Chains A and B, each alone.
Chain A
Amino acid sequence: MRSALPTAPVLHSEWIKIRSLRGTFVALSAVCVVTAGIQMLMAALLSAEDAAGMGADPLLAAFYGVNFGTIAAFAFGATALASEFHNGALRTSLTAVPNRARFYLSKMAMVAGLAFVAGEFAGLATFIGGQAFMGPGALELGSPGTYRAIFGCGLYLMLMALLAAGLTAVLHSTTVVLSLLIPFVLLVPFVLGSASDGAARFLPDRAGWMVMRMEPHDGLGPWTGTGVLALWALVAVTGGWLAVRRRDA
């Protein structure tokens, strides 16, 4: 079992893999830049009344930009894994780290860790930067639920990156994964709207958002919602492991 655990050298190698690929590194930076940037842009352009259109829950509205950061998190998780299936790079990787469990866990740990850090920066920058434009109605750090929401934002983006990463380990292609995930996670809940209760609230995006709401919604608490999203991510990562373990490389 111990031999399956990530080691510092293998994690270091995974970090070099991510920073040395332009697309993956740009996607990681975009998690932070896009989330905070769009939030500030919306906050600056919309008057206080229009800003209500970003969501009835003021805390939720403060994280509106996360909708777009999610796409960057998908792109990051997907490209980080897809690079192994490009030109048979996986053969070289497995020749250096032949223990597939260690290889896969190290890769997922690095994806998760980087997405979490970028997500935390995104959460903090989005909240502070966005609220700076909101005038007198702005929320302040320390208002009810704000710390929880900022921390939860990092978890949300990390779990979304893992969802995409796990799926890519099964499907091998960034394009396929993004064209599945973006409609499924971002558009379906939007189309269903707030009218639908029941099963729709267990969709990854819906459930994951709970942690960034001021008031509990749909009967799911903030951490239960995050737990539901974590289960989605776990299923994807486990599916990816079964594919990586079994297949001839």
Chain B
Amino acid sequence: MNSIEIRELTKEFGRTRAVDRLTFDVAPGRVTGFLGPNGAGKSTTMRLLLGLDRITSGTATIGGRRFTELPDPLQQVGALLDAQSAHGGRTARDHLRLLAATARVPVRRVEDVLEQAGIAAAAGRRIKTFSLGMRQRLGIAAALLGDPGVLLLDEPTNGLDPEGIVWIRELMRSLAAEGRTVLVSSHLMTETAALADHLVVLGQGRLLADTSMEEFIEARSAPRARLRTTDPIGLRSALAHRGLALVPSEGGRWTVADIRAEELGAMAAREGIPLLELVDERASLEEAYLDLTAEHAPFAATH
């Protein structure tokens, strides 16, 4: 009902392919991070889904129907495309009221979302006097207006202060927990890592990955353990027998490549070497992402 289905979606602007035979689903109940460098086709995909740009070929549907054919679009899909999509001469309240009117959303709801987005105090001000962060909050208020089951948010944290970033992270998590479909695009890795359960990665308009966050990082992390010990000499020789090396790291810690914490711990116990700290070191989302894009770099460069 609330899922998004993208099938063989293609968009050409003149002779450039902005989106190239893209196929993926976005499921409800989780936050899906939509990743890729600037110009990878994330925003275009969202615009195609909303019927703002003409599709060259393929389909993009919500619950099996094209967005432009939904009977009550505002109540099914909330979208934040860019913070500038409002006329600067209107007040925030009027901007939301005219949107609410299209779907007979009660005026009371306008005040609610203004409150929820933390801009109730500025509701009577013209949008052109707003900072980027406030415009972003207004855009999110507009997306929430119809209490929709699907949310499409393009770079929602742009211009938000740290408090705002925490707010939107919590908001998206709770919206997903309520069973809604949440698709959030970003080019910021740390932000997405803190937010998303699932990832869809684009590069040059093509699908590079469609997988859970866990698997994505797991698949792209070489096993490596980090530890502290009072007996580095004993440990080094024990490791040397297995062809492993103890490498000094920052803060008096050591790292060992190609072994998991589980194995290393058991080995140290057998050898009677005291360990003060032992963890698996996993790649960050950023490292995993760079690893993935590096893989695709040759064909990206020839494109």
Interface residues of A (CB under 8 A from B): 9-10, 12-13, 16-17, 20-23, 83, 86-89, 91-92, 94-100, 246, 248-249
Question: Of the candidates A20, A23, A91, which one forms a contact with B98 in the assembled complex, judged by CB atoms under 8 Å apart?
Answer: A20
Q: Contacts A95-B73, A98-B73 given: A89-B85 contact, CB under 8 Å?
A: yes
In-complex Cβ contact of A13 among B84, B88, B101 (8 A): B101
Q: How far is the CB of A110 from chain B (nearest CB, A)?
A: 12
| Cross-chain contact of A87 among B84, B91, B94, B142 (Cβ < 8 A) | B84
Give the interface centre of B50, B53, B86, B98 by most chain A CB atoms within 10 Å: B98
Interface residues in B46-72 by Cβ distance below 8 A to A read 47, 50-54, 67-68, 70
Within 8 A of A (CB), among B24-59: 47, 50-54
Question: Which chain B residue lies CB-closest to A7?
Answer: B102
Q: In the complex, what residue of chain B is closest to A3 when comparing beta carbons?
A: B69
What are some 12 contacts across the A-B interface (CB < 8 A)?
Answer: A20-B90, A20-B94, A21-B89, A21-B90, A22-B89, A83-B87, A83-B89, A87-B86, A94-B51, A95-B50, A95-B79, A98-B68
* Contact (Cβ within 8 A) A87 B87: yes
Is there contact, CB below 8 Å, between A92 and B101? no
Query: Which residues 87-137 of B sit at the A interface, judged by CB distance below 8 A?
Result: 87-91, 94-95, 97-99, 101-104
Q: Which of A13, A23, A86, A98 contacts B67 (CB 8 A)?
A: A98
Whether the pair B52, A96 counts as a contact (CB closer than 8 A) is no
Q: Which residues of B contact A249 (CB under 8 A)?
A: 47, 52-53
The complex places the Cα of A99 from the Cα of B69 at a distance, in Å, of 7
Cα distance, A96 to B79, chains bound together (Å): 9
Q: Using C-beta atoms within 8 Å of the partner chain, give the interface range for chain B.
A: 20 to 34
Choose among B67, B86, B97 the residue that contacts A89 (Cβ–Cβ < 8 A).
B86
Residues of chain B touching chain A, judged by Cβ–Cβ distance below 8 Å, are: 47, 50-54, 67-68, 70, 73-74, 77, 79, 81-82, 84-91, 94-95, 97-99, 101-104, 142
Output the least CB separation between A200 and chain B (Å): 39
Closest chain-A Cβ to B66's Cβ sits at a distance in Å of: 9
| Selected contact of B52 from candidates A23, A83, A91, A99, CB within 8 Å | A91
Report B-chain residues with C-beta under 8 Å of the C-beta of A22. 89
Please give 12 more A-B residue pairs, beta carbons under 8 A apart, in addition to A20-B94, A20-B95, A249-B52: A10-B101, A17-B98, A20-B97, A20-B98, A87-B88, A88-B85, A94-B50, A94-B51, A95-B77, A95-B79, A97-B73, A98-B70
**How many A-B Cβ pairs are below 8 Å?**
89
CB closest residue in chain A, given B104 = A9
Q: In chain A, what residue has the closest Cβ to B105?
A: A9
CA distance A94 to B102 in the complex (A): 11
Q: Which residue of B lies closest to A17 (CB)?
A: B98
Docked CA distance A20–B95 (Å): 8
Measured in the bound complex, the distance between the Cα atoms of B87 and A87 in whole Å is 6
Asked if A88 and B101 make an inter-chain contact with CB atoms under 8 angstroms apart, the answer reads: no
Query: Which residues of the other chain, B, contact A94 by a CB distance below 8 angstroms?
Result: 50-52
Report whether A86 and B88 are in contact in the complex, using a CB–CB cutoff of 8 Å.
yes
Whether A96 lies near B81 (C-beta < 8 A) is no
**B74 contacts across to A, CB distance below 8 A:** 95-96
- Tell me the complex Cα distance, A95–B89, Å: 20
**Would you call A16 and B104 a contact (CB within 8 A)?**
no
Q: List residues of chain B with CB within 8 A of the CB of A100.
A: 68
Instruction: For residue B50, give the distance in angstroms from its CB to the closest CB of chain A.
Output: 6
Q: Could you tell me the distance between the alpha carbons of A13 and B177 in the complex, rounded to whole angstroms?
A: 32
Docked Cα-Cα span, A2 to B89, in Å, equals 33
- Taking the closest CB of chain A, its distance from the CB of B197, in whole angstroms, is 25
Chain B residues whose CB sits within 8 angstroms of the CB of A97 once the complex forms: 73, 102
Report Cα–Cα, A228/B74, bound state, in Å: 40
Cβ contact within 8 Å between B89 and A9: no
Chain A hits for B47, CB < 8 A: 91, 248-249
Q: Is the CB of B50 within 8 A of A98?
A: yes
